[in-house]
Structure formats: structure tokens, C-alpha cells
């Protein structure tokens, strides 16, 4: 009986290098920036949001892979941060517009005709689009795009024996410690401490979204709960911004109703955060996660 020919075993592809991961992830975010830029210029709220998120993700990648090209990645991170700050004016107007719409639904503009109300919203939307265009036309944004393109096409980076997952684990350990510190400082969840904790959580959110598939169950579990906690703090932050804007609105029942609704929503979002945080901060999960990250980081 003739023997069957041996079937060659499939070769396991080599693990992705840190430089290859950096370029792949940076290029993906670059595509998001370029795809959303023209839509953001035409006034799309979603496109501007997606563009800002892509820039934040790029900053996370710069911090994670910093040692591959320290000077260039620091320059890109700082430039992207400046652009994000410039886009904040348009974001503030988005909050204003939504707040005024809420006020109008609460009959807080009874002395204005529907046509006048639409005209006010349209004027604000036009100004918001103008502010977005100013941010997109600023020198920092042009420089950021140039730096992204240069780094995405750069062929050689600093040689390192550290793997992609080692870079990611080291950064996760840093942000994990930052989240713990910010939580100890949050106190009664007043505006600034809650916002600082949210920003730290957002960094971990991006890290787990980028790299969790290279780790085990503890990283996936911690990532799931920090994403939920960070999203809830985002709701708290939006309520805080809207409440600040209501201070400039005319006194009256509608203003009171809007503020009461915002305060109720803030309490609900804070409750969601506390529920997610308890799961994230569970001692068993944190211990297993720390062991996993330290092993991957080579510590």
C-alpha cells in the first residue's frame, strides 16, 4: 500500500515587529483623518468627531512607540495635541447648539417664532463650521498631516529587540498607574478631577482597542470595563459643559427645566461609571492583569 505524501505543515508567520505595527496603525488613522477632513469642512459633526478621535489615537500610538523615533514622534504628538485644542471651539458650539435645541423643545423661546429659532440655530451652525475650518486650515494641522505622512512612509526606525506587545504592555502599565492616581484624586467627582480621570481612561481605552488581541483574558476584561467607565465619564463631562453654558441663558422655567434635566442625566452617568469602575477595579482582575502586563513587558 503506497504511502500518502506528507502534507507540509503551515509555517507560523513571524510576530509583527514594533515598527511594522506602528506603521500599520498610523496608516489606518491617517486614512480616517483624510477621509473625514472634507466632510468636517462642510459642517459634519460626526466627521469632526471622528477626525479628532483619530488624532487622539495617533497621540496614543506616539506615546506607545516613542522609542522607535523619539524626536519625530514627540513632534507629532505635540502637533496633534495643538490641533485638537483648536478644534475645541467647534466642539463647544456643538454643545451650545444641542443645548439651545433642548431649550426650544422645553418652550424656552416662546417669544421667538419657529422661523427665528431656526435662524438662530443656523447662525450658530455656520459659525461652528467656520471654527472647524479655521482649525483645519491652521498651520498645526498642515504640519500634523505632513508629519504623519513622513512617518508612515519612513523605512527605517531605531532597532529594538522589544516586540509590539512589549511596547504596548509597558505603556498600559504606565496608564494603569495613572488611572489609579487620578481615581484617588477624584473626590466627589467635581468637574476637573472627573475630566482628568476620563482622559486617563481614554488613553487606556485606545490602548486596549489597539492591542488587546495580543494579550489574554485579563486585558480584554479590564479593557471592557474601562471603556464603559470612560464612556460614562464622557457623559458626565458633556453635562458639565452644558451646565456651564446654561449660566448665560435667560432666567425662566425653561432654563430651570433644562438644568434639572442635565443634573439628572449627570447623576445617571455617574452611576453607570461607578458600576463599571467596581468591575474594573476588582482585586482579582487587577492582580491577574498586572501579572500579564509585566510578563509581556519583560519586567
pLDDT per residue as tens digits for the range 174-211: 999 999 999 999 998 998 999 999 999 999 999 999 99
Q: Phi and psi of 298, rounded to 5°? A: 80, 30
Q: Are 205 and 225 in contact (CB under 8 A)?
A: no
What is the distance between the alpha carbons of residues 106 and 110, in angstroms, rounded to a whole number?
9
Using 50, 70 and 90 to split pLDDT, how confident is the model at 103?
Answer: low
Those residues with Cβ within 8 angstroms of residue 5's Cβ, 6 or more apart along the chain or in another chain: none
pLDDT above 70: residue 111: no
Question: What is the average pLDDT across 35-41?
Answer: 92
Percent of the chain with pLDDT over 70: 92
pLDDT for 32 beyond 90 = yes
Q: How far is Cα of residue 106 from the mean position of the Cα atoms in its chain?
A: 32
Query: pTM of the predicted model, to two decimals?
Result: 0.86
Q: What is the DSSP string of 78-103?
A: HHHHHHHHHTHHHHHHHHHHHHHHHH
| Cα–Cα distance, 27 to 219 (Å, whole number) | 25
Residue 1 pLDDT > 80: no
Per-residue pLDDT band for 106 (boundaries 50, 70, 90) equals: low
Name the residue ranges covered by the structural domains of the chain: 17-87+129-153, 163-299
Mean pLDDT of 30-55: 93
Angle between helices 191-211 and 164-185 (to 10 degrees): 160
Q: Which fold has domain 17-87+129-153?
A: 1.20.120
Mean pLDDT of 233-247: 85
Collapsing DSSP states into helix, strand and coil, what is residue 163? strand
Between 68 and 106, the more confident residue is: 68
For 113, the grid coordinates are 417664532
Residue 186, helix vs strand vs coil: coil
pLDDT digits (tens, 9 = 90+) for 50-92: 999 999 999 999 999 999 999 999 999 999 999 998 988 888 7
- As given in the structure block, the three cell numbers for residue 119 are 435662524
Amino acid at each position: 500500500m503506497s504511502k500518502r505524501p506528507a502534507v507540509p505543515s503551515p509555517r507560523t508567520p513571524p510576530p509583527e515587529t514594533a515598527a511594522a505595527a506602528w506603521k500599520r496603525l498610523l496608516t489606518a488613522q491617517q486614512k480616517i483623518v483624510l477621509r473625514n477632513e472634507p466632510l468636517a469642512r462642510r459642517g459634519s459633526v460626526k466627521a469632526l468627531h471622528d477626525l479628532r478621535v483619530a488624532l487622539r489615537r495617533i497621540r496614543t500610538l506616539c506615546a506607545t512607540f516613542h522609542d522607535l523615533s523619539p524626536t519625530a514622534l514627540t513632534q507629532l504628538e505635540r502637533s496633534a495635541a495643538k490641533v485638537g485644542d483648536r478644534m475645541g471651539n467647534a466642539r463647544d458650539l456643538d454643545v451650545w447648539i444641542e443645548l439651545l435645541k433642548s431649550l426650544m423643545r422645553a418652550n424656552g423661546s416662546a417669544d421667538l417664532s419657529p422661523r427665528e429659532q431656526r435662524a438662530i440655530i443656523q447662525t450658530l451652525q455656520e459659525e461652528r463650521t467656520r471654527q472647524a475650518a479655521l482649525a483645519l486650515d491652521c498651520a498645526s494641522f498642515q504640519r500634523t498631516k505632513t508629519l504623519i505622512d513622513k512617518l508612515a512612509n519612513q523605512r527605517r526606525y531605531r532597532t529594538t529587540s522589544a516586540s509590539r506587545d512589549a511596547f504596548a504592555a509597558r505603556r498600559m502599565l504606565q496608564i494603569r498607574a495613572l488611572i489609579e492616581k487620578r481615581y484617588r484624586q477624584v473626590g466627589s467627582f467635581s468637574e476637573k478631577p472627573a475630566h482628568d480621570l476620563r482622559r486617563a481612561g481614554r488613553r487606556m481605552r485606545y490602548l486596549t482597542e489597539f492591542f488587546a488581541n495580543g494579550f489574554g483574558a485579563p486585558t480584554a476584561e479590564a479593557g471592557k470595563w474601562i471603556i464603559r467607565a470612560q464612556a460614562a465619564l464622557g457623559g458626565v463631562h458633556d453635562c458639565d459643559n452644558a451646565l456651564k453654558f446654561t449660566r448665560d441663558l435667560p432666567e425662566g422655567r425653561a432654563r430651570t427645566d433644562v438644568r434639572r434635566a442635565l443634573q439628572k442625566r449627570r447623576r445617571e452617568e455617574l452611576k453607570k461609571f461607578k458600576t463599571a469602575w467596581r468591575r474594573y477595579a476588582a482585586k482579582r482582575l487587577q492582580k491577574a492583569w498586572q501579572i500579564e502586563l509585566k510578563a509581556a513587558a519583560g519586567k
